Structure 1
Amino acid sequence: MSRADMFVNPKREDWMTPELEAKIKDLAKEGKISCYQAQKFAEEHKVQMNKMKAFLDVVGLKVQNCQLGCF
């Protein structure tokens, strides 16, 4: 899968566990998460930033107040 395809049609990967999904959804409010929270979550759980974007898409969360344009 190309990098561009990953952002258009993200697929659930093996590392995207229900436990991680529950943790990220606990941080979210009204289906949104801040850029800072997403970056911190990625760092704490050793998720690459490009994979984090796909993960957020898979779980249906939107990033607000993006600081770096990563999301």
Structure 2
Amino acid sequence: MAEVAPEVLEAVKNAARDGKISCTAARKLAADLKVPPRVVGEACNALKIKIKACELGCF
């Protein structure tokens, strides 16, 4: 796993509430940051943030 860019980590940290982020919010964040959803998933893993209400198995 490659190192996740600091700006992606910060954006995920800011978007998460109570250590969780919805799949919809995570996919939107990936689109806004112009990174693949997998990168947001790796950031969530690194920050120990759970993706909830997952759709399509993107993460």
TM-score (normalised: structure 1): 0.69
Structure exhibiting the larger radius of gyration computed from Cα positions? 1
Runs of 4+ residues deviating >2 angstroms: 19-23
Q: How far, CA to CA, are the matches of 1:23 and 1:52 in structure 2?
A: 9
Relative to 1, partners in 2 of residues 1:23 and 1:49: Cα closer, same or farther, differing over 3 Å?
closer
Q: Determine the C-alpha separation between the residues in 2 that align with 1:20 and 1:54.
A: 10
User: Aligned to 1:33, what secondary structure does the other structure show?
Assistant: strand
Q: Which consecutive residues of structure 1, in runs of 5 or more, have no partner in the other structure? A: 1-5
Gaps of 5+ in 2: none
CA RMSD of the aligned region, Å? 1.7
Say how many residue pairs are matched.
59
TM-score by length of 2: 0.80
Partner of 1:3: none
- Partner of 1:52, secondary structure, is helix
User: What fraction of aligned residue pairs are identical, expressed as a percent?
Assistant: 36
C-alpha separation between the residues in 2 aligned to 1:70 and 1:22?
A: 21
Which one of 16, 23, 47 corresponds to residue 5 of structure 2? 16
